[in-house]
Amino acid sequence: MIISVAVTKQLVLDDVALTPPVALAPLAGITDLPFRQLVASFGAGWVVSEMVASQEMVQAKPGVRERAELGYDQDGTAVQIAGREAYWMAEAARMAAGNGAAIIDINMGCPAKKVTNGYSGSALLRTPDHALSLIEAVVNAVDVPVTLKTRLGWDHDSLNAADVARRAQEAGIKLVTIHGRTRCQFYKGAADWAAIRQIKEAVTIPVIANGDIVDADTARAALRLSGGDGVMIGRGAQGRPWVLAQISAALHGLADPVVPQGRDLIDMVCGHYEAMLAFYGSELGRKVARKHLGWYMDDAGTPPALRKAILTHASPADVLRDLPEAFDLKVAA
């Protein structure tokens, strides 16, 4: 298997092209299928599914909605798995690849206590030998490219990401994404893009910079300081599904996306809401959608009273009725 960087704006992992190298990060409870599809519709090199626990994934024998959630049939989607046992990680990878996943991503970066208390996610940075056994199990289980997402280290006294990345490359990992914080920082302080350069210098596989990248200027700075081959955007895309395409246009000379305004913006927000209702069902979809609607309305400057009313409506019909008013206010301004 061969990895090549074809041109500045393209990465190729085996026969999987990631063009341009601007990706949507996995965010639990946020980057679900409707949101990933919306981001991809504007333009993204690739998107990553929400993290799925490997043992639960295999034992649950997911149904139609769960299979769709992972995006097996979606172009440009990596399926991210997490776990602490090699057997379950390998089985989950086989299941994902067998269902059509083009890329398997291993989560070694999630800082959430419910994950790290289970010795998964970024907790694996504390046991690099064990982490490598999981990586080897996944790589040996599938024929599709396997990537890794992690952090600089567990804390500032154990910044071991460069060594972990080097060993991961030797085990067959094709690309590594580094969030420029330690686990103990969670999301506090500023991402240290310059610290990612040490990882870049330790490996020959592509390195993707992640953390606090919200626009073209921060993307340029992250690439300059890290020496990375691309960027991954997470929280910066909340309420702005077009931002990856904007960054791609600025960095790689691609066409600027048409950012919806006025009636087009209202139609996009309503369409996203209806997609969540269709995917989750009315009751759950209404709850899941609140965070997205809140971000859209924050950007629109919707008055607090109207924002609260929309987010607390019990009926989706009432939400759809009032959403145009929330965004007409921005148009009028």
Query: Are 24 and 48 in a shared domain?
Result: yes
Quick check: 233 pLDDT over 90? yes
Query: Are 266 and 225 in a shared domain?
Result: no
Q: What is the model's pLDDT at position 66?
A: 61
Alpha-carbon gap, residue 95 to 147, rounded angstroms: 16
Reading the block at residue 289, the tokens are 């959608």
Range with lowest mean pLDDT among 20-29, 191-200, 261-270, 322-331: 322-331
* Amino acid (1-letter code) at residue 69: E
Reading the block at residue 98, the tokens are 């067998």
Let me know if 184 is a catalytic residue.
Answer: no
Confirm whether 130 is domain-assigned: yes
H-helix or E-strand spanning residue 282 = helix 282-300
Quick check: 151 pLDDT over 70? yes
Q: What is the model's pLDDT at position 1?
A: 41
Contacts of 176 (CB under 8 A, 6+ apart): 147, 148, 149, 150, 165, 168, 169, 199, 203, 205, 206, 207, 208
Averaged over 244-255, what is the pLDDT?
A: 95
Q: What is the model's pLDDT at position 265?
A: 95
Query: Are 240 and 113 in a shared domain?
Result: yes
Q: What is the model's pLDDT at position 28?
A: 87
Q: What is the model's pLDDT at position 111?
A: 79
Query: Are 318 and 300 in a shared domain?
Result: yes
CB burial string 121-154: b at 16+ within 10 A, e below = bbbbbbebeebbebbbbbbebbebbbbbbbbbbb
Averaged over 3-21, what is the pLDDT?
A: 72
Confirm whether 257 is domain-assigned: no
Q: What is the model's pLDDT at position 68?
A: 53
Query: Are 162 and 297 in a shared domain?
Result: no
Query: Are 204 and 286 in a shared domain?
Result: no
Confirm whether 35 is domain-assigned: yes
Query: Are 64 and 134 in a shared domain?
Result: yes
Confirm whether 196 is domain-assigned: yes
CATH number of the domain residue 193 falls in: 3.20.20.70
Alpha-carbon gap, residue 243 to 222, rounded angstroms: 16
Confirm whether 36 is domain-assigned: yes
Quick check: 207 pLDDT over 50? yes
If one counts the domains in the chain, the total is 2
Confirm whether 118 is domain-assigned: yes
pLDDT tens digits, 125-141 = 889 999 999 999 999 99
Averaged over 236-248, what is the pLDDT?
A: 97
Query: Are 104 and 150 in a shared domain?
Result: yes
Query: Are 103 and 209 in a shared domain?
Result: yes
Quick check: 209 pLDDT over 60? yes
Q: What is the model's pLDDT at position 167?
A: 98
Q: What 8-state DSSP symbol labels residue 311?
A: H
Alpha-carbon gap, residue 55 to 45, rounded angstroms: 29
Under 8 Å between Cβ of 25 and 233: yes
Reported as a pLDDT band with limits 50, 70 and 90, residue 276 is very high
Structural domain including 293 reads 262-332
Averaged over 295-308, what is the pLDDT?
A: 94
Helix axis angle, 282-300 relative to 316-332, nearest 10°?
10
Query: Are 267 and 231 in a shared domain?
Result: no
Q: What is the model's pLDDT at position 120?
A: 78
Confirm whether 92 is domain-assigned: yes
Query: Cα–chain-centroid distance for residue 38?
Result: 13
Alpha-carbon gap, residue 74 to 241, rounded angstroms: 17
Reported as a pLDDT band with limits 50, 70 and 90, residue 121 is confident
Under 8 Å between Cβ of 110 and 149: no
Reading the block at residue 190, the tokens are 């500023």
Which residues are registered as beta bridge partners of 47? 24, 77
Q: What is the model's pLDDT at position 333?
A: 41
Range with lowest mean pLDDT among 14-18, 247-251, 304-308: 14-18
User: Higher confidence at residue 68 or residue 177?
Assistant: 177
Reported as a pLDDT band with limits 50, 70 and 90, residue 158 is confident
Binding-site residue ranges for FMN = 80, 149, 179, 234-235
Range with lowest mean pLDDT among 5-14, 37-46, 296-305: 5-14
pLDDT tens digits, 47-82 = 999 998 888 888 876 554 565 577 787 888 999 999
Confirm whether 147 is domain-assigned: yes
Quick check: 119 pLDDT over 70? no
Q: What is the model's pLDDT at position 187?
A: 82
Q: How far is CA 42 from CA 1, 108, 219, 243, 323, in A?
A: 31, 29, 18, 9, 22
Average pLDDT value over all residues in the chain:
90
Query: Are 299 and 161 in a shared domain?
Result: no
Averaged over 23-32, what is the pLDDT?
A: 93
Query: Are 219 and 93 in a shared domain?
Result: yes
Listed residues 203, 230, 252: the one ending a domain: 252
Listed residues 252, 270, 289: the one ending a domain: 252
- 86, 90, 110, 266: which one is catalytic? 110
pTM: 0.91
Collapse the DSSP code of 262 into the 3-class scheme (helix H, G, I; strand E, B; otherwise coil) and give the result: helix
Listed residues 218, 252, 286: the one ending a domain: 252
Quick check: 116 pLDDT over 80? no
Q: What is the model's pLDDT at position 316?
A: 96
Averaged over 28-41, what is the pLDDT?
A: 94
